[in-house]
């Protein structure tokens, strides 16, 4: 008896995983942004001097939605490559870079730590490159799907650097406890 799956079974497995992973990654990205109060309406961010390369606010939601979908599809391709050498390492690298990605938004927008956010982005850039290399070994198309994400992460690094340069005194001493419980900072 053979345990090789038919093409139809492989497509069905991919679709089942994609229906879970893609919305899950989209949700995590949206949740991170919402919890951090990112983008327009954030009084601290509104008060910053914006670099010339800063895209219009609407661009971020559009770009990140597309990137999260591509990331989800890439991860699904790797997850469904059962038995492929390096699959577990590729998935682990993806999880690490995704966690770094999700931490950047609260670090920048809620904690107002522009320097730390820049350092985190450099680490994220390296983690994305590692993930792409590991994905390529499992499913080359999955690596290709992450290239726009790498390009945007590198752009975000340059943008973060420009925010730091244009706003050298913008970092605040906001406590991590206030990020986790914003109501604690309100006085009556």
Contact 44, 87 (CB under 8 A): no
Closest alpha carbon to 131 in 144, 121, 122, 120: 144
Percent of the chain with pLDDT over 90: 70
Q: Give the start-to-end residue ranges of the domains of the chain.
A: 8-47+55-185
User: Which tens digit of pLDDT belongs to each residue from 138-159?
Assistant: 999 999 999 999 999 999 999 9
User: Which tens digit of pLDDT belongs to each residue from 71-123?
Assistant: 999 999 999 998 899 999 999 999 999 999 999 999 999 999 999 999 999 99
How far is 69 from 173, CA to CA, in rounded Å? Answer: 35
Least confident stretch, 31-40, 134-143, 175-184: 175-184
Architecture of the domain whose range is 8-47+55-185: Up-down Bundle (1.20)
How far is 15 from 117, CA to CA, in rounded Å? Answer: 35
Torsion sign (Cα): 185, 61, 25, 134: negative
What's residue 139's pLDDT? 96
Closest alpha carbon to 72 in 116, 25, 115: 25
Predicted confidence (pLDDT) at residue 180 exceeds the cutoff of 80:
no
Predicted confidence (pLDDT) at residue 21 exceeds the cutoff of 50:
yes
- pTM given for the model: 0.85
Predicted confidence (pLDDT) at residue 179 exceeds the cutoff of 50:
no
Predicted confidence (pLDDT) at residue 24 exceeds the cutoff of 50:
yes
Contact 115, 168 (CB under 8 A): no
Give the residue with greater pLDDT, 172 vs 2.
172
């Amino acid at each position: 008896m053979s345990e090789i799956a038919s093409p139809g079974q492989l497509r069905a497995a991919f679709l089942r995983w994609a229906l879970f992973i893609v919305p899950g990654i989209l949700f995590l990205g949206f949740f991170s942004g919402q919890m951090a109060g990112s983008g327009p309406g954030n009084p601290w961010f509104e008060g910053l001097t914006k670099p010339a390369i800063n895209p219009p606010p609407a661009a971020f939601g559009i770009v990140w939605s597309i990137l999260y979908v591509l990331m989800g599809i890439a991860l699904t391709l790797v997850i469904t490559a059962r038995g492929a050498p390096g699959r577990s390492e590729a998935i682990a690298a993806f999880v690490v870079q995704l966690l770094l990605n999700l931490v950047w938004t609260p670090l920048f927008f809620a904690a107002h730590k522009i320097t730390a956010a820049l350092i985190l982005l450099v680490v994220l850039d390296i983690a994305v490159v590692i993930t792409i290399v590991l994905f390529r070994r499992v499913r080359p198309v999955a690596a290709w799907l992450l290239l726009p994400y790498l390009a945007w992460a590198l752009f975000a690094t340059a943008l973060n650097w420009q925010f730091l340069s244009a706003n050298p005194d913008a970092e605040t001493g906001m406590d991590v406890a206030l990020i986790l419980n914003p109501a604690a900072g309100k006085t009556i």
